[in-house]
Amino acid sequence: MRIGIVGYQGDVSEHADILASMKKQYKRDVEVVLIRSREALMSVAGLIIPGGESTTIFRLLKEYNLFDAVAERVKAGMPIMGTCAGLILISRDNPAERVRSLNLIDARIRRNAYGRQGESFIENIEIDGIGRFSAVFIRAPVIESVGKSVTVMAKHNGLPVMIRDNNVLGLTFHPELTGDARIHDYFIDMIGRRGYISTPEREWYVADLL
């Protein structure tokens, strides 16, 4: 299974390391592809947009003609996970003037709502279907509201911090910084077993086959 990571800026290597570790830890047949071109995007079955600077990632997605291509593939069924800055990009609405949202999940986001980098923290949260998880919040955005189609998988202080809508997964925190691969394992199940089957050649919803 080929999983792409948007590879311009941010926690790219950290996500890659977690995915690489899963070959031994979870017996997953995973190949990591850094996505910097449309050709690379078309070769993967799932995509991660990492945390980092949302304005920089957005600008480079536009510059290399990937912005619309990502939206098209996800709307066709390819699973995507956005963490922190990645969540800002996949959301329906964010207040950043220099970042246009991909509008892939019905959520309104407020950037850097948890404070500056020096105010980062780790908090144990309970994630539906995964369990207790040590979540790392770094200049994290806040999910202010979600639409009816969105499932809230975890909260912190009453606010959603992990959400899902079918093939789209969004997190305000950084699962790649903990060494705990359970969220990445959950994402791999989204690609191959839970709900969606995705390949570069064809994508379909499992319900269509029943």
Which residues participate in catalysis according to the annotation? 84, 174, 176
Q: Which amino acid is at 168?
A: V
Across the beta sheet with 105-110, the strand order is 91-93, 105-110, 142-146
Strands 142-146 and 31-35: unpaired
**Which of 145-179 are b and which e, b meaning 16 or more Cβ less than 10 Å from the residue's Cβ?**
ebeeebeebbebeeebbbbbbbbbbbbbbbbbbbe
Q: 8 near 62, Cβ under 8 Å?
A: no
Q: Is 196 helix (H, G, I), strand (E, B) or coil?
A: strand
- Rounded to 10 degrees, the C-alpha dihedral 128/146/50/39 comes to 110
